[in-house]
Chain A
């Protein structure tokens, strides 16, 4: 069994697509919360294969996209502090803040280094004892435990020059905020597969229970997504609303208890600002009291400068799924992956980037 390839099998995909077409009679508007799902759906051309009864909406589950300019400006200000090595996942390098980006800061002399893992950032800290290594913590519940683990490791070893700027966010509170706003009506939710691997499918119970919306936890291969659509459509047809797991090989109801323990040992929930949505209580993670000495915000003095939002950019509305990229006047005209105005275009998981890269406007 070759895990990734098996879940791309075109014969099995055909079986699922036929199943979806046979089952779907009513209009269904399905949202995939997670940016990774948006990309997978676009990359494999899944929308074209679905019957016209099904409409797909992309949600705000792109941690880079939902990081606001004020926070981006903080990261750039930190990077500019002499002696600081700013380590970050590649996703964040090109995102434009109010005036600059980490990539630009690097070109101007800031020491900004891309890493694949906090393990690498810790290693940089060990190898550069006279410098201060700040890790830019961006990501949801999939990533936050890994950053928490790195703080525990640094603590254990007594690495005194490792810091974290936590911009981590939690998914359930923001899904709740979006549903509460009443701006969009969805018939079903494709739940994030890897966030669920950590938090468990139980984290989405409230959506079915309190909002009557069917939920299916999905993996990221084409068959996973098709299977999830099939399961959601089946629920919609039967008028059911429950939480189901399609991604059974990776997700359980309780999630990964150890990962959650570690995450909450180091971090505590607090309010966080989501681009386009505003501040949502309890939706962010900040370093807890016991680990304050690792907090970059506390350890350094820096001035991010005034926050400026890009004019004409409707990333916020795209993130809330009230507008699509095509609704934006800047899409493809001014705002392109080469010259992005907002994060939805520069993030590898942003809706605008996905639509730009994979969707032909003149062929469907």
Chain B
């Protein structure tokens, strides 16, 4: 539930960050993710970063899905 979108941290100032979503930028609070760093993707929800996106997991998931699609094609 709840609309949260991945946003890229461009700059950090105290516990606020400037985040970017495809060219649109907004300030976001890092109070819930104090360990986030510039260059991280965070899940932006209602103006707060609620979690850091694990980019390596994202890559792994995509690889697995690509593998699955490839296997599917092979078996056709």
Contact = CB atoms under 8 A, between A and B. Distances in A.
28 contacts: A1-B58, A1-B59, A3-B53, A4-B5, A11-B69, A12-B65, A12-B66, A36-B2, A63-B1, A89-B46, A118-B47, A119-B29, A119-B47, A142-B2, A142-B45, A143-B46, A146-B45, A146-B47, A194-B2, A194-B50, A195-B1, A197-B50, A198-B50, A249-B54, A250-B51, A258-B34, A259-B32, A262-B31
Contact of B1 (A61, A153, A248): A61
Contacts of A171: 1
A265 B48 CA distance: 17
Interface majority SS on A: helix, strand, loop or mixed?
helix
Nearest to B47: A117
B62 interface: yes
Interface in B26-69: 27, 29, 31-34, 41, 43, 45-48, 50-51, 53-55, 57-62, 65-66, 68-69
Contact of B6 (A3, A61, A223): A3
A216 interface: no
B24 interface: no
Nearest to B41: A3
Given A62-B1, A194-B4, A118 B46 contact: yes
Nearest to A251: B51
B1 A349 contact: yes
Which of A117, A139, A262 is packed against the most chain B CB atoms within 10 Å? A117
Contacts of A37: 1
Interface of A: 1, 3-4, 6-7, 9, 11-12, 14-16, 18-19, 22, 33-37, 61-63, 89, 116-120, 139-140, 142-143, 145-146, 149, 152-153, 171, 192, 194-195, 197-198, 223, 227, 246, 248-251, 256, 258-259, 262, 349
